[in-house]
Chain A
Amino acid sequence: MKDFNTTILSNQEISPGFFRMRVLAPGFEEGLLPGQFVMMRIQRNPAPFLRRPFCIFRTGSLPAECDGLAVREYLELLYKVVGQGTAIMATLHGGDRVDILGPLGHGFDVDFGAGEAILVAGGIGVAPLFMLGETLIRQRRVELLLGARCREEVLAVTEFERQGIETYVSTDDGSLGRKGLVTEVLEQRLKEGTPAAVMACGPLPMLKEIHRICNSYGVPLQVSLESLMGCGVGACLGCVIKGAGHSEQSPRQLTVCEDGPVFRDGDIDWSQWP
């Protein structure tokens, strides 16, 4: 974990309202686990006070060039413009500087029994699943079920496919892939046969439904959660959720930033969300 001031290499709008930011990050890959995240500080005026959490979409490196540029390692974020901070981020260009704190938190556990893995993404929830897919495809078959509201929100499909990950797209309005909810696709898929694990990231109602489905088919589930964050390192206790077995008398609270953002299904008290 480091706090470093770095340079943006590129910041591209890949679909209306969705951006892909590449920043220089030498040595960042060392020990990095799929599902970890960073806290980004935006230093444009008026600067929002707090940092913003983002999953690490992928890492890579630009080859050395004959004009003397050395190998440049980078990390990429995939983000959606939703409010003040991300709107400012969207105005940044290559050459601008940002502060990145990370890698933070606990990522996905990729050490599980033989068999296939199914990744389920809802919209921008695809962000933490790319590195996960990259890791898992070396060990096993991997499928990605990618759900979005419309075709503009379907991101990075070809990149997953290029890894050899079988990708099934569904959209709410049917503008790309199957029309319907990704959770329906998952349930159908589990009827055909159960994988070794399901790993998911997306809106909470989607995750709750996936939790229900996986429980009824007895499939182990890991989810990546979001929460409002102050510090990102377990110090402010702003991001807590209730862990399984929590009670007022013997509190069992988990920080999404430090204990998560990836949790096993059984670690969480799912009843806390109506």
Chain B
Amino acid sequence: MKQRKGRDELPGDKRATGTRGGKGPEEKAPDLSVTIGDLELRNPVMPASGTFGYGREYARLIDLERIGAIVTKGLSLRPKAGNPTPRIAETVGGMLNAVGLQNVGVDAFIRDKLPYLEGIATPVIANFFGNTLEEYGEVAARLADLPGVAAVEVNISCPNVKQGGIVFGTDPQAAHAVVSLVRRRIAKTMIVKLTPNITDITVIARAVEEAGADAVSCINTLTGMSIDIHSRRSRLANVTGGLSGPAIMPVALRMVYQVARQVRIPVIGIGGICSAGDALQFLIAGATAVQVGSANFVEPGVMVSIADGLARFCREQGIDYIRELIGSLVVD
């Protein structure tokens, strides 16, 4: 059966997608590697948490050793049932989700999911969250010494149930507190994932950098909603949900641009990325790497197509190292 080839919307590109970067004999393959903390990634493309399961779900559809890293579904101290259904709703250029962080819990992850991932020669980034400060600390402690977990990504877009439900990631002090706590428990690379549902994202970015984050990733979903006019009900049981997909890309790009200028640590760009051209925009805006979320649902091979497209772009532009592109935005 004909396997689908990558399809990127790079302007001017008429070449067929090579399967392994497709380098010609005379050409040197561009170096796509990037560094996030202690992590060396073969290329800057990885899945966004919650859109790629625990990795294995997509193993039959894409070669997991051709992406930069594997990012897990968000893990919590105990298994979490998540929200009632309907949990997803398609919107123009994207989707809303209110899955409610359903996951198997950190212990079941370590027992049932991690052994498979350890057999894949790609770094694993464990995304996690807590309902309280203490829970963040406990999950961090469990992930701290596992050789199979190369790095963690701390999702701070969650409400603190002990403090009237204020979202950690919307308050610089709360964000600082949770990140410092995790820092004390974990020596390995710590990425902190930021919420866009705030007036000035750079304030939080600076707070988590000061608290010891090795990198920030942005953005998580934008809060939104959609209504069925006949039933006059929200199309999500949870009423509101998180918007993702191409619709949020311009907002995400702006935030990455702003954050990258305010922190010295690497920024990972997330939001609506569907093609190599999209990923390149994030790199040029200042991102060191990118995460691809909802686009995986639509095109399971999209991350490999993006990695191929990045290599092609570099060759065409005579760029030897993709890192040269990071933050190369021209502002007149």
Determine which of A25, A49, A101, A239 lies in contact with B300 in the assembled complex, contact meaning CB atoms within 8 Å: A101
Please name all residues of chain B whose beta carbon is closer than 8 Å to the beta carbon of A177 when the two chains form the complex. none
CB pairs A–B below 8 angstroms (25 shown): A2-B3, A3-B3, A4-B3, A5-B2, A49-B95, A50-B297, A51-B298, A99-B299, A101-B61, A101-B300, A228-B88, A231-B51, A233-B57, A233-B58, A234-B53, A235-B53, A237-B99, A238-B87, A238-B99, A240-B85, A251-B81, A251-B82, A253-B81, A253-B102, A258-B57
**Do B298 and A238 have beta carbons less than 8 Å apart?**
no
Binding site for B on A (CB under 8 A): 1-6, 25-28, 41, 48-51, 99, 101, 227-241, 246, 248, 250-251, 253, 258
- The one of B4, B50, B87, B296 that contacts A4, using a Cβ cutoff of 8 Å: B4
A239 CA to B97 CA in the complex, in Å? 11
Per the CB 8 Å criterion, the residue count for chain B at the interface is 40
Task: Give the number of residue pairs across the A-B interface with Cβ within 8 Å.
Answer: 111
Report B209-267 residues with CB < 8 Å from chain A CB.
245-246
- Indicate if B136 sits at the interface (CB-CB under 8 A): no
Query: Among B3, B53, B57, B245, which residue has its beta carbon within 8 angstroms of that of A49?
Result: B245
- Within B3-23, which residues are at the interface with A (CB < 8 Å)? 3-4
Cβ distance A105 to chain B, nearest Cβ, rounded Å: 13
B1 to A27, Cβ gap below 8 A?
Answer: yes
CB neighbours (8 Å) of A99 from chain B are: 4, 299
Q: Of B87, B93, B299, which contacts A237 at CB under 8 A?
A: B87
**Across the interface, do A49 and B85 meet the contact criterion of CB distance under 8 Å?**
no
A258 to B52, CA, bound (A): 14
> CA of A250 to CA of B300 in the docked complex: distance in angstroms?
31
Contact with A along B56-86 (1 / 0, CB 8 A): 0110110000000000010000011110011
Contact A227 B85 (CB under 8 A): yes
Q: How far is the CA of A228 from the CA of B94 in the complex (A)?
A: 15
Interchain nearest-CB distance for B75 vs A (Å):
13
Contact A241 B85 (CB under 8 A): yes
B interface residues, Cβ below 8 angstroms from A: 1-4, 50-53, 57-58, 60-61, 73, 79-82, 85-95, 97, 99, 102, 245-246, 294, 296-301
How many angstroms from the CA of A194 to the CA of B19 in the assembled complex?
Answer: 56
7 closest Cβ contacts across the A-B interface?
A: A238-B88, A235-B53, A251-B81, A231-B297, A235-B57, A27-B1, A5-B4
Chain A residues whose C-beta falls within 8 Å of the C-beta of B2 in the assembled complex: 4-6, 26
A228 and B60 contact, CB distance less than 8 A: no
Nearest-CB distance from B228 to chain A (Å)?
12
**Extra contacts besides A233-B61, A235-B52, A235-B57 (11): CB < 8 Å:** A3-B300, A25-B1, A26-B2, A41-B298, A49-B91, A99-B299, A228-B86, A230-B95, A230-B97, A230-B297, A246-B81
Q: Which residues in A have their C-beta under 8 angstroms from that of B102?
A: 237, 240, 251, 253
**Bound complex: CA A185 to CA B85 (Å):** 32
Q: How far is the CB of A46 from chain B (nearest CB, A)?
A: 8
Considering residues A2, A26, A235, which has the most beta carbons from chain B within 10 angstroms of its beta carbon?
A235
With beta carbons under 8 angstroms apart, the residue of B1, B73, B90, B92 that contacts A28 is B1
A4 to B53 alpha-carbon distance, docked (Å): 22
